[in-house]
Each structure stands twice: as C-alpha cells, then as structure tokens.
Amino acid sequence: MDVIRTLIVESAIFYAIGISLAILRLCAQGRRYGIGGLKIEDKLMVVASLFYTLLVVFNIFCNVEFDTGLDTASGIGDLATENPRAYIAGSKYVLISEQGMINTLYTLKICMLGLYHRLTTGQREQLAVKIVGGYCILGWIANQIAFFTLTCQPFAGNWAIPPPNDQCVDWHHYSTVQGICNISSDLAILAFPIPLFWRPGFAIKQRIYLCCVFSLGIFVILCATINKLNIDNTSWPLWNLREASCALYVSNIPVLASLTKKFVAKNLSRLSTTRTNTKNQSTNPDTVTAPVFPPATSQPREKQFDKVYDPVVQDWREISVTEDEVV
C-alpha cells in the first residue's frame, strides 16, 4: 500500500509539472508564431503529452492490481492462482502502460531532433541529425517488434493463467532490447549539440549556458539505467514514471529557457529605457523625451536635441523636439 501511495503522489506531482511545461511551451510558441505557425516539434509535443497521460494513468492501475506485498516482479506470477481477476487486469494494464512508455520516449526524441534540425539549417551537421533520427525510428521499430515477440509467446500468454513461462512475467529479453535501443539513442541525442555550441562565434558564457541546458538529458539516461537495474523489483512503476517525466521536462526546458531569456532581455531593455528617460527629464526639465509629433505648419522651426541611451544598440541616440514643444 505504501508503494501505491508513493506512486500516486509522485504521479500527481510529476504529471502536473510535465503538462504545465508542455502547455507553457505551446502557449508561448502559439503567441509567437500563431496557431497555424507551430513547428512540427510543438505539434509532436501534444502527441507526447497524450502518450504520457496514458502511461501515468495505466501505470497506477497496474500497480493497484499487482499490490500483493511481493518483493519481486517474478512473484507476480503467484497472483495468477491467488487472485486471477487481478492478475489478468494488471497484466493488460501493464501492456497499455508500456506502450505509453515507448511512444512517449520516442516521440520526445523526435521533438528534440526537430529542434536540432532547425538549429542546423543549411549546415553540414544537419546530416547527423537525420542519421540520429533514422536510428531513433529503427529503435522504435525494434522496440515494437520486441514488445510483441519477446515479452511472451504466444502474446496472449501475458495475461494467461497460468503464465506459459517466466518471460511472460519478468520480460527480461524485451527489457534488454528496450534498454539498449533507448539508452543508446539518448546518448546520441545528448552528444550531438555539445560540439555544435563549441564552435567559434559563441561566447564562453553562452557556450556553458547552452551546454548545460541541452545536457539535461543526462538525467534521462540515469533514470533509464536505474529503471533497467530495478527490473526484478516492484519499484519499476516508479522508475517508469520518473524516466518518462524527466524526458518530458528535458524536451521542453530548452525551448522555454530560450523564450524566457528573450522575454527577460526585452523587459529589461524597456525598463532601462524608461529609467533613462525619467532621469533625463528630472535632471533637465527643459527637454522632452516623449515621441516627436510633426509641426502644425510646414515652416521649418529651430530644433533642440536631447541624447538618450538606447540599451538595444548600446549607444546614445538623439531625440529632437521643436521649439514649440519645449515646456
């Protein structure tokens, strides 16, 4: 019961954070480009969020059915004789949950590669993005084949009573294939942007910032590794949730970090300009830094000039006012 309570609490927290990040991303991108101008990776984020929801819901359902106080996944097989209904329902929920897991992870991988594809437009590194993307697609296909052929033979044996063999309960062969394809593609996606940001033209601070943001995939790889190490432990639903949630966060943070940085810089620029104008008005009340309107007559009039510091171009610019507009 403690495992279920922990899973429900973590699911609520992780899901709220993940979906909030996805919604913020879509709202920000929609405001910037318009609904019709959303990028392909933004639309795929909607699909990934749906698969993530499927995972979270059925991850809880299967754990509720399998809550028998057993310490190992192999012991779940004993549930077939003790509570056949719970075993059949739980086994089917696990299959749905695992499909949600696979599709969430690989949809998020494509989202990241879509971002890399745009960043490398017109550059030779774009070929590497396509190669990694092809590898991810092959990995997804391998996962699906393994899911339907290595979890249990026949496939209906996954919920049969009694289980035909141990593979129908512990999924060792399938988990090996899934782990290799998943972690190797994560490593490829993680390694790709680092050389890209260390090319000439990036300031040191900018390089460090970008590498830190795009290296958050390390946490996804750690969760995936721990998840596979706990395959014989009943904590695997928790690690499924943590791995998928971490992947969802990491896929949204680079976009949100960029948008946040631009938003802050824009508002700081406005604030700096406002403070400069206010300071000039207080120190020199005979000048006006308000917008200049054309004179009422066509006769030329003597103009006065006032300098205002523009933080956008980082230089002083002159603002002129006519003699009649001076207070």
Residues 242 and 277 in one domain: no
Same domain, 133 and 172: yes
Domain identity same for 213 and 66: yes
Query: Quick one: 238 and 181 in the same domain?
Result: yes
Same domain membership, residue 283 and residue 232: no
Choosing from 249, 278, 301, the residue where a domain stops is: 249
Number of domains composing the chain: 2
Q: Are residues 176 and 277 in the same domain?
A: no
Q: What pTM was estimated for this model as a whole? A: 0.76
Task: Walk along the chain (327 residues) in steps of 10 and give the mean pLDDT of each run.
Answer: 83 96 91 86 94 95 70 58 82 93 96 89 88 96 94 89 83 92 94 77 75 83 88 80 94 82 62 62 52 49 49 47 39
CA distance 290 to 282: 13
Domain coverage including residue 137: 2-249
pLDDT value, residue 264: 63
pLDDT of residue 59: 92
Same structural domain for residues 127 and 234? yes
Q: Is 259 within a domain?
A: no
Long-range contacts, stretch 237-242, CB < 8 angstroms, 24+ apart: 237/3, 237/7, 237/59, 237/60, 237/62, 237/63, 237/97, 238/3, 238/6, 238/7, 238/10, 240/55, 240/59, 240/97, 240/101, 241/7, 241/10, 241/11, 241/14, 241/55, 241/56, 241/59, 242/10, 242/14
Same domain? 221 vs 83: yes
* pLDDT at position 14: 96
* Domain shared by 81 and 153, yes or no: yes
Residue 275: per-residue pLDDT: 63
In a domain, 255, yes or no: no
